[in-house]
Structure 1
Amino acid sequence: MATTYDIAYDLEKQIRESDEYEQLKQAYQTVNEHDEAKKLFDEFRQLQLDLQQKQMSGEAISEEEAKNAETSFQNIQQHKEITDLMSAEQRMSLLINDLNQIITKPLQELYGTLGEENK
């Protein structure tokens, strides 16, 4: 009988073999093959991380930082390689979110039931 971990490793294998993952992998490779696209994408990702860290630490994002983020986003949208990668990332994210909902359904049902008993 398969253990929960065996099933999880099978799921990992299925994700690696999915169309969503293959498209993401190809799009990422394409961006990395184009120097300008790679540079812009890397700068955009770093800017995103910096802004997320500021928000998580409770710091306000300045008007200048917001403007820089908007300019960076506009720049990357001009590169088909990057927009293709971002679309592939969105499809992969949807897949992961769907899987997460399926996996956590027993907990949602349990806590939902427990919450209803306390009413």
Structure 2
Amino acid sequence: MNVYDEAHKLTQAIRESEEYKQYQAIKEKVKENPQLEASLNDFKSKQLALQAGQMMGQQMDQEAMAQIQSLYTILAQDPLAAEYLQCEMRFSLMINDVYQILSEVIDLGIKGMGGDAANGN
């Protein structure tokens, strides 16, 4: 079994999944509405910035969180934006599940100094 061939099969399976197909289709619809596309990009950019800050140990910015929630509420009122956000979430969950499965083999034993890596296992 060639790992690279299997990786390409995984890529193909993802492309053939309903989550991927629906996400790609809704992305094309959103591209037809530049104002909505810009609003969604702004929302995602602010959301990613907040998440990146949290991952770096920064305290949660309540004002930024409120702004993101407000943007989400506004976007969710637009049927196309709501559908986009739902499709994006379903696709992201599927990809996250794949990452979780892959992380089982990618585990390099770096779970803290008291774990198996420290014991030479």
| Equivalent-residue separation in structure 1 for 2:92 and 2:70 (angstroms) | 24
Quick check: 1:24–1:85 contact (8 Å CA) kept in 2?
Answer: yes
2:119 aligned partner: none
| Equivalent-residue separation in structure 2 for 1:107 and 1:53 (angstroms) | 22
Quick check: 1:77–1:83 contact (8 Å CA) kept in 2?
Answer: yes
2:71 aligned partner: 72
Instruction: Give TM-score, length-normalised by structure 2.
Output: 0.74
| Equivalent-residue separation in structure 2 for 1:75 and 1:83 (angstroms) | 10
| Equivalent-residue separation in structure 1 for 2:90 and 2:68 (angstroms) | 23
Alpha carbons of structure 1 residues 17 and 71: separation in structure 2 relative to 1, 3 Å: same
Percent identity between matched residues is 30
| Equivalent-residue separation in structure 2 for 1:99 and 1:63 (angstroms) | 32
Query: Are 1:42 and 2:41 an aligned pair?
Result: yes
**Offset of residue 107 of structure 1:** 7.4
Report 1 or 2 for greater relative contact order, CA contacts < 8 Å, sequence distance ≥ 6: 1
Where in structure 2 are there 5+ consecutive unaligned residues? 108-115, 117-121
Where in structure 1 are there 5+ consecutive unaligned residues? 109-114
| Equivalent-residue separation in structure 2 for 1:57 and 1:31 (angstroms) | 32
Q: CA RMSD in A?
A: 2.5
2:78 maps to a residue whose letter is: H
**Offset of residue 38 of structure 1:** 0.9
**Offset of residue 102 of structure 1:** 4.4
**Greater per-residue helix proportion:** 1
**Offset of residue 42 of structure 1:** 1.0
1:14 aligned partner: 13
1:111 aligned partner: none
- How many residue pairs align between the two structures? 110
